[in-house]
Each structure stands twice: as C-alpha cells, then as structure tokens.
Amino acid sequence: MRLCSLSASASILALASLVFADATSDVISLTAKNFEESVSTEPLMLVEFFAPWCGHCKALAPHYEEAATALKEKNIKLAKVDCVEEGELCQNKGVQGYPTLKVYKNGESTDYNGPRKADGIISYMVKQSLPAVSEVTAANHDQFKTEDKVVVVAYLPSTTSEPAPVFSAAAEKHRDDYLFGLTTDETLAEAAGVKPPAIVVYRSFDEPQTEFPYPISGLKAEEITDWVKELAIPVIDEVSGENYAVYAGSSKPLAYLFVDPTSEDKDAHIDAIRPIAKKYKSQMNFVWIDAIKFGDHGRALNLAQTNWPSFVVQDLAKQLKYPLDQNKELTPELAEAWVEQYLAGKLEPSLKSEPVPEFQDESVYVLVGKNFEEAVFDDSLDVFVEFYATWCGHCKRLKPIWDSLGDKYAPIKDKLRIAKFEATENDLPTSVPFRIQGFPTLKFKPAGSKEFVDYEGDRSLESLIEFIEANAKNSLELPETPVDEPAPVVADEEAPQTPVSVPPATETEITHEEL
C-alpha cells in the first residue's frame, strides 16, 4: 500500500483551513467528539483517515464518494477523519500513513485490505455486511447470483449435508474475496440445472455459470478455494495496480499484451489473443496492459522499443522475462508459437545487462548481469554483494558506508570481494537461486560455496565488519600499514618561531533526517 508521509510543513498545515466539507456528500465527517459514538452504534462502517494535502487521498476521494452513495442504499456507511484537524485522534487510532482505511463493526476495527476504486470498495463492504455463507432462497436467488463478479453457491439437501462444513470453512477464509451462499431449496437447484449436492460459481465475465466438475463427497476446503481462484481470473483482462496481486499470487506464468489504448485496433488485438488465452488458460494467465501508462513496466520486462502491440511472457516466481521480438509484426500465430515454445521449455530468458566495466578501479567491485557468475561464483573468494537501485533513498544512505567497507578490505581483494549490483538495470542469471524483492538487499557468498547468506543486521560499518568476520572462509588479516616517522623540526635561526593557534575540535550534530 502506498502511503503519504505523516509529516507536513507549516504552510501545508495552514492550507487545511481552506478545505471545507461538501454539504451534499454521503461521506460522514467524524471528529474526536463524535467518533466513538458513531462507530460503536453502527453494525458496519468504513472509515478513511486522510490528510487534505495527500495525493493518494485526493485520488481516492471521488471513488470513496461514489461508493458511499451506492452503499447508502444498503445501510452501509462510509466516514472520514481529517488527520490535520484531528491529529490526536488519528494518533490514538494508530494511523501511520495516509490514507488509512479501517472497517468498524460495532466499534471493533480491522484493517481494510480491499481495492481503492468505487466498485471494489462497494464489493468489499457488501461482503463484510453478510455472513461468511449467506442463506439463498427463492426470493433472493436471482439477485444473489449477480451481487459480485464471483459468487459461489452450494446446492445441498440440508445445511449439514456434506460438504457443508468445508464449504463454510472455505467461505470464512475467503469472505473478503468472494460471495458464498447455500440453499436447500430443490426447486432452485432444478432451475440452476444441477443435482444436489453441487457447487456452482456464477461470474459476471467469461462463462457465467460453472459447476464443480467432480463428485463433491470428501471435498476439502482447499480444493474449493483453488477451484474458485482459478475461475476468478478471466481468460484475458486488463491488468493494473487494482488486480495485479491476483496474478502475482498465482503459480502460473503471466503473458502480457502491451497495447496503445488510443489505437483504433486495440480491441481487435485483444480479441485476436483471446482464443489463445482460452486454449492455454490452465497453464498460463493472460492480460492486456496500457503500454502508454505502464511503459516503465514494459522496459522492466525488457521491451526495449515502443512498438505496440508487443507480447511478453514472464515467469513471476523466478522473475524471468521472455519478450517476443519487437521487430516482428505481432500476429496470433506468432504469439501462440511463442507460448508453446515457452511451455515446452525451449525459450531462453532475456537477461538485461549493463556493459561489463573495462576497468575495476574502485574498491567496490561493479557487478553487471554479464559478469555476475564469473565474479561471484569464484570459489577462491568470499563475496559480499549489495543489490541496489539508483533511485533508492536507503541505498543512497548506505553508499558511503559500503564504500568505506570496500576501502577497508581493498588490500585483500584477492580473498574478499566487496561488490555492488544495480538490480533495476541488470537481471540475475538463471543460475542464481534467488530474486531481489527490495532494496538494498545484502548477501554474502562464502569462498568454496555457491550458497548465499542473508545479511539482516543494521547498516553500520561496525556491524557489516562483524558479519564478514563471522562468515568469511578466507583469512581477513590485513597487511600492516607502515607509519612514517615525523621529520625532526629544525628551527630557522633567522626567523622567529610564531606559535600556531589551533581551534578546538567541534562535534557536528547529525539529524535523523540525514540518517
């Protein structure tokens, strides 16, 4: 979740007084005076803790308003707290960033983990208002099936019939994700075209009704959720920040179709890929993506050109990328052949690398994609690597310390290599048994080994040295540095000796911001 900083300058605080509530808003404004009474008397309420200057809060505002209006009909209230005006209240509620959203049920709060768009907020809060498994009757059956994008209904002879207990367990675990209902009405099962016991998924996309394909006696909760998760992913859909987690949580590779959304042929390109996506859905997820808005993501997937449409497959688990040659015209036949080759293990991943440095004249060794294996897997060397991103603030603060570490061990470069790897400009070779998830990441490879030890201590020079001493296999004895004897001072008899005044040493205060 992206959060704005809690700190704000005095000038920004002054602007808060210019922000007025919209009298027509369906979002309730809460203060310290009415907060506890408001949340404790409502069975369900969503509260946003915000700051008027926060960009993410401003982006959320119209979606929050739209959701408040839609949920008003269901008697689900949305509220907000201005944390500039109500700083003490927000602090007492544990707010550490903006916007923070919390779900209150009769005064008890839990973190809101749903989407930030109107339809997602509505869907999430409707699920919160219902029991984990809702009773489905003749009166609500048709409406219930369309209440959300994915609705799961169990048609059973009785509420205790198998697999009611495991169905309830699956519903309780995933109540925030999908709607679950149960009916014992035989006429509803007959109308649905199923014979109890049966479980059916209703969707607002692709095939609207799908029945669990195997006998459900002895079914486990995990089998239900795995099946529903599979059906919850469309054959091909637009991917964005709102739904990327769905794909990231899947074990399947992800195929991207990058398209220009302003192109007249956009829909034709997507429709051309759809039959391929349907054919290989059991093995791979397919999405289309706005190539203009997410151009940086295309470059991260090693699409070097701005030729759209373009096609790339990514192994999410190993973070390996397989872009189709952008110099070739993208056709359905070419895309399908690329998918088949990937699934057959016949494609080599595209590995991005900066040029290998011509000279290694720094005390910290510069690693790139092309020299990583040779420089790190040298059995004669202990190797300590910083994986960083140039734009990362934490990495910038670590740099002088890491340079000092390199300087300290520069005399024994033949035994210990202090190295750095710009992980956004270079891909790790497939032989490396890990992928980088955050910056900076520090890993140590002992001499004679291909295993890596994670560094998890603080980033002080002393702690880094202590870690090296605990894990290095080679001797870390440094050569003695000769100390030059001071030359004798000979007074110049012709010139009087003037004492030199030396100012006293002063300490420099280092603030937390500088750290």
Is 392 catalytic? The answer is: yes
CA–CA separation, 330 vs 121, rounded Å?
37
Q: Which residues pair with 45 in a beta bridge?
A: 77, 104
Structure-token match 């490396």, residue found: 432
Cα–Cα nearest to 459, from 410, 384, 394, 509? 394
Q: CB-based contacts of 111: which residues, under 8 Å, 6+ apart?
A: 101, 102, 103
Q: Which residues pair with 416 in a beta bridge?
A: 382
Cα–Cα nearest to 152, from 228, 234, 250? 228
Is 90 catalytic? The answer is: no
Distance of CA 489 to the CA centre of its chain: 66
Which of 87-112 are b and which e, b meaning 16 or more Cβ less than 10 Å from the residue's Cβ? eebbeebebeebbbbbbbeeeeeeeb
Catalytic entry in 4, 57, 83, 90: 57
Which of 414-426 are b and which e, b meaning 16 or more Cβ less than 10 Å from the residue's Cβ? ebbbbbbbbbbeb
Cα–Cα nearest to 365, from 424, 410, 397? 410
CA–CA separation, 294 vs 259, rounded Å?
10
Helices (H), 389-454: 393-408
- β-pair type (254-259, 285-290): parallel
CA–CA separation, 75 vs 92, rounded Å?
27
Is 54 catalytic? The answer is: yes
Is 57 catalytic? The answer is: yes
Cα–Cα nearest to 154, from 229, 224, 234? 224
CA–CA separation, 367 vs 161, rounded Å?
62
Q: What is the DSSP string of 28-47?
A: EE--TTTHHHHHHT-SSEEE
Phi-psi region of 106 (alpha: psi -120 to 50; beta: other; left: phi over 0): left
Catalytic residues: 54, 57, 392, 395
